[in-house]
Chain A
Amino acid sequence: MTLIQERPSGPGLYSEEAEPLTQIVPGPRPRGVVKFITSTDHKQIGLNYMVTAFTGFLVSGIMAELMRTQLAGPDNHVLTANAYNQLVTMHGTVMLFVFGGPFAFGLANYILPLQIGAPDMAFPRFNNLSYWLYLGGFLVMMSGFLTNNGAADFGWFSYAPLSEAIHTPGPGVDMWILGIALTGFSGIFTAVNVITTVFTLRAPGMVMFRMPIFVWNSMVTLFLVLLAFPVLTAALALLWCDRHLGTSFYNPVGGGQPMLWLNLFWFFGHPEVYILALPYFGVVTEVFATFSKKPVFGYKGMIAATLSIAGLSMGVWAHHLYTTGAVLLPFFAALSLLIAVPTGIKFFNWIGTMWQGVLTLNTAMLFAIGFLIIFLCGGITGVMLAQPPLDFQLHNTYFLVAHFHYVLLGTTVFGAFASIYYWFPKYTGRLLDERLGKLSFAIMFVATNLTYFPMHDLGLRGMPRRVFTYPANAGWTFLNQLATIGAYLLGIGVLFTVINVFLSFRRGEIAGDNPWDGQTLEWATSSPPPEHNFEILPPIRSERPLWDANHPDQLTEVGH
């Protein structure tokens, strides 16, 4: 069954008389499970992505709680060393490859076509395929736990020669390799799809410099995916050959070069950090603008900042390798510090967007502000660690663990939760409960700081990362207990949002099409949007077409 879409040949104004934009072909539409499996609708696929990614977040969160339980006291025996290593590795891998990135891909799938006035993604069936590869990757990766030797246990960056077959035998590792490769292919397909959609399916009048910042950021993120994931896949293929075909690309015993893996992996790994951050920068930009009832402050500066963050992030990979002594310190330190500049511009613009705005402090906005604060702390320790002398002291201590959790929780968790509270009405037509939401936010915000702030100090006191236990006389016990209490609280905070989603899905307050007085096109259609998205579109004359249509007395100034 097929559909060919028409734009109206009439005036196409935002009025009752306008002809509908789409002609929907009559015929059976799959429902239920069949719809979940076969649908090529970008909205269904986007939801599939987000639900799966959130499941990954919960699974990986449980692993984290187990690890924190083990670390709650000195010489604890909740987990064996071996189990701890597997959990560290899989927690990191699932959070990064199954939750952080793909949740953003799901958002891009659902929201991006709506925001540019497109009927769907450019390649709907490839879109569906991306989802299956991603889900397959997740399952393959996790089935490592079912094998005799257990899942991969060499840390999420799998340094050679530890990852070679002699040191880490067993199919768990191979499942880790192949699972990541599958999610990698899925990411590449999504990238091609989204970029083509942005380039070719925008509504008339939606010029590039009128696209919402979320669209720009998602597009630039997928530019990075397009560069990073092929390199990772190639590196994994070589690792596979080393393990099974007797080559020694990374194995020094056979004349290989462990540094080759380090360079290839981090050439992917650092851009990956921005793949996890940039889409959520976009999310909070939308949230700030909507709930301040103002256009984005410094719109073009924001885009320039996004592009330069992305560009620079391609040239900083070896700041993860300072301590190897085999990389060019000045080059990487200089570029790493430079990234702070466009990131700082973003902070100014976010604050500028809120400045003198009519603020609505609802849950979405609170999570976005939580993002600002948490991410700022992570950013500051990031600038510290970018200085080689300091990094030599703190590399692979808990200071680093604190740093990257501030960065990653700030962006992926607080950003994703802001997006859930902001766009849930669009997905379902119902609002999430504000009281539960605010409670969830308050607990999560306090708990995040309680968990990770003590880790800075643990690092300064010399506690290395990835240790499964520590002696009582090391002086690390109290801080670890704080962190563990924080981690439990964090779990409770997350649960409140999960409960909220389940309750509101059926019984939430009816939201209507445009509950927030939104500015961008996704709010111009019904909630949830019909197949192929729009009946009518408002004329697009600025970066907030819907606002202009609803507030003709406060038109957006054009050309700033």
Chain B
Amino acid sequence: MRVEFRVCLGAALFLGIIDLIYWFTSNDDAGTACLLFSFFAYALIGSFLFLQWRRRKGIPRPEDRDDAEMSDGAGEVGFFPAASIWPAGIGIGAVFLAIGLIYGVWYLFIGGVFVIGSLIGFMVEAEAREEGPDDPGFPAVGPTGPDPETRAATPGTSR
């Protein structure tokens, strides 16, 4: 975590300094505003990562430790749906929305239906994940990973 937040905060610092110099030396509000946006973007990501690091009290995750073994990462790694039709639905909808902006309301309407419908599908799919083990299509291992003791013994397995 340390390298991650340092990179982001470092970027923010650099952009902040450049912005100050630019602000005082040029008369260009547009550029100053863009650099300010960049500064905030990285300050935000960096401080989020910093807070995460603090919350973990600086205990490194297995991927932050030089000497970690593969088994230190034991446990659930994440939720990886194998296939989904909804992203394509949203994509098609977005194209219709774009065409609608040029050729009028009807396309906008079709695009809206596609996007909203697919978004709902997308969310329902994610919802189903919570009920994982009951669903026949889901694996027997629960989303919580192996037994709690192994997890407690290996700091940093929950993500």
- List residues of chain A with CB under 8 Å of any chain B CB: 1-13, 18, 21, 23, 25, 27, 29-30, 34-35, 37-41, 119-120, 122, 124-126, 128-129, 131-133, 135-136, 139-140, 171, 174-175, 178-179, 181-182, 185, 199-209, 223, 226-227, 230-231, 240, 259-260, 263-264, 267, 307, 310-311, 314-315, 317-318, 327-328, 331, 531-532, 537, 539-541
> Does B112 make an interface contact (CB < 8 A)?
no
Beyond the given A2-B139, A40-B83, A310-B11, please list 13 additional residue pairs across the A-B interface where CB-CB is below 8 A: A11-B71, A25-B139, A30-B83, A140-B99, A178-B102, A201-B78, A204-B72, A205-B65, A227-B37, A240-B101, A263-B34, A318-B31, A531-B82
A54 to B146, CA, bound (A): 44
Q: Is B116 an interface residue (CB 8 A)?
A: no
B99 touches A4 (CB 8 A): no
The B64-121 residues at the A interface (CB cut-off 8 A) are 64-88, 90-92, 94-95, 98-99, 101-103
Q: Give bound CA distance, A374 to B79, whole Å.
A: 44
A37 B88 Cβ-Cβ under 8 A:
yes
What are the nearest 9 A-B pairs in CB distance?
A: A132-B91, A12-B70, A204-B62, A129-B87, A204-B68, A202-B63, A128-B87, A208-B3, A136-B95
Which residues of B sit under 8 angstroms from A136, Cβ to Cβ?
Answer: 91-92, 94-95, 98
Q: Is the CB of A6 within 8 A of B64?
A: no
**In this complex, what residue of B is CB-closest to A181?**
B98
B45-71 Cβ-contact flags toward A at 8 Å (1 or 0):
000010000000000001111111111
* Among B37, B83, B90, contact of A39 (Cβ-Cβ < 8 Å): B83
Output the least CB separation between A268 and chain B (Å): 9
Determine if A314 and B3 form an interchain contact, defined as CB atoms under 8 angstroms apart.
no
Find chain B residues with CB under 8 A from A126 CB: 87
B residues less than 8 Å from A120 (CB atoms)? 78, 80
The interface residues of chain B lying within 8 Å CB-to-CB of A3 are: 80-82, 139
User: When the two chains form their complex, are residues B92 and A7 in contact, meaning their CB atoms are under 8 A apart?
Assistant: no
Residue from the list B65, B90, B138 in contact with A204, Cβ < 8 A: B65
| A38 with B34, Cβ < 8 A, contacts A2-B137, A4-B143, A331-B22 known | no
Contact residue among B14, B41, B95 (Cβ-Cβ distance under 8 Å from A311): B14
Given contacts A133-B94, A136-B92, A328-B25, are A7 and B84 in contact (CB under 8 A)?
no
In the complex, what distance in Å separates the CA atom of A484 from the CA atom of B35?
42
Contacts of A11 in B (CB 8 A): 69-71
The answer to whether A199 and B28 touch across the interface, beta carbons within 8 angstroms, is no
Contacts A199-B49, A227-B41, A314-B38: A6 and B102 contacting too (C-beta < 8 A)? no
Q: Is the CB of A314 within 8 A of B35?
A: yes
Contact A9/B30 with A38-B84, A314-B35 known, Cβ cut-off 8 Å: no
Given A175-B102, A231-B37, are A314 and B90 also a contact pair (CB < 8 Å)?
Answer: no
List 11 A-B pairs, Cβ < 8 Å: A2-B137, A2-B138, A6-B76, A9-B150, A125-B86, A133-B91, A201-B77, A204-B72, A207-B3, A307-B10, A311-B14
In this complex, how many residues of chain B approach chain A with their Cβ under 8 Å: the count is 74
Contact A311 B138 (CB under 8 A): no
Contacts of A182 in B (CB 8 A): 94-95, 98
Contact of A8 among B14, B71, B132, B143 (CB under 8 A): B71
B41 to chain A minimum Cβ distance, whole angstroms, is: 6
B11:A263 contact, CB within 8 angstroms: no
Q: How far is the CB of A282 from chain B (nearest CB, A)?
A: 16
Could you tell me if A29 and B143 are in contact, using CB atoms closer than 8 angstroms? no
Report the bound CA distance from A89 to B50 in whole Å.
Answer: 44
Q: Is the CB of A6 within 8 A of B74?
A: yes
B9 contacts the other chain (CB 8 A): no
Q: Contact: A267 with B83, CB < 8 Å?
A: no
Question: Measured between C-beta atoms, what is the minimum distance from A338 to chain B in Å?
Answer: 12
Please measure, in the bound complex, the distance between the C-alpha atom of A52 and the C-alpha atom of B28, giving whole angstroms: 39
The CA-CA distance from A44 to B128 in the complex, in Å, is: 24
Q: Name the residue of chain A whose CB is nearest to the CB of B70.
A: A12
Is the Cβ of A539 less than 8 Å from the Cβ of B69? yes
Q: Return chain A residues, CB-CB under 8 Å to B10.
A: 307
Q: Does B152 sit within 8 A of A, measured CB to CB?
A: no
The answer to whether B28 and A125 have CB atoms under 8 Å apart is no
**B26→A331 contact, CB < 8 A:** yes
Contact B82 A1 (CB under 8 A): yes
Q: Does B43 contact A (CB under 8 A)?
A: no
CB distance from A505 to the nearest CB of B (A): 24
Interface centre among A131, A179, A185, A207, by most chain B C-beta atoms within 10 angstroms, is A207
Q: Are A40 and B81 in contact (CB-based, < 8 A)?
A: yes
Residues in A whose Cβ lies below 8 Å from that of B34: 231, 263-264, 267
CB neighbours (8 Å) of A2 from chain B are 79-82, 128-129, 132, 135, 137-139
**B21 contact set on A, CB distance < 8 A:** 331
Select from chain B the residue with minimum beta-carbon distance to A260: B30
Cβ proximity bits B140-159 to A, threshold 8 Å, 1 near / 0 not:
01010110001000000001
- Asked whether, in the complex, the Cβ of B139 is within 8 Å of the Cβ of A23, the reply is yes
Which chain A residues lie closer than 8 Å to B70 at the CB level? 7-8, 11-13, 18, 21, 203-205, 537, 539
Check B31 against A205 for contact (C-beta < 8 Å). no
**How long is the Cα–Cα vector from A381 to B61 in the complex, in angstroms?**
46
Q: Which of B69, B81, B90 contacts A124 (CB 8 A)?
A: B81
Q: A126-B87, A264-B30 are in contact. Are A331 and B77 (CB under 8 A)?
A: no
Separation of A263 and B29 alpha carbons in the complex (Å)? 10
The answer to whether B25 and A206 have CB atoms under 8 Å apart is no
B143 touches A223 (CB 8 A): no
Known A125-B84, A205-B68, A328-B26; judge A5-B78 contact (CB<8 A). Answer: yes
Q: With A136-B94, A227-B38, A264-B30 in contact, is A204–B63 under 8 Å at CB?
A: yes
Determine the distance from Cα of A37 to Cα of B94 in the docked complex, in whole angstroms: 16
Are the CB atoms of A125 and B87 closer together than 8 Å? yes
Given the known inter-chain contacts A12-B69, A207-B64, please indicate yes or no for A40 contacting B82, CB distance below 8 A. yes
Q: B4 in the interface, Cβ–Cβ < 8 Å?
A: yes
Residues of B within 8 A of A12 (CB): 69-71
Given contacts A314-B35, A331-B21, whether A1 and B81 have CB atoms under 8 Å apart is yes
Chain A residues lying within 8 Å of B68, measured Cβ to Cβ, are 204-205, 540
* B residues less than 8 Å from A209 (CB atoms): 3
State which of B4, B71, B98 has its C-beta within 8 Å of the C-beta of A208.
B4
B residues in contact with A231, CB < 8 Å: 34, 37
Q: For A9, what are the chain B residues with a Cβ–Cβ distance below 8 Å? A: 71, 74, 146, 150
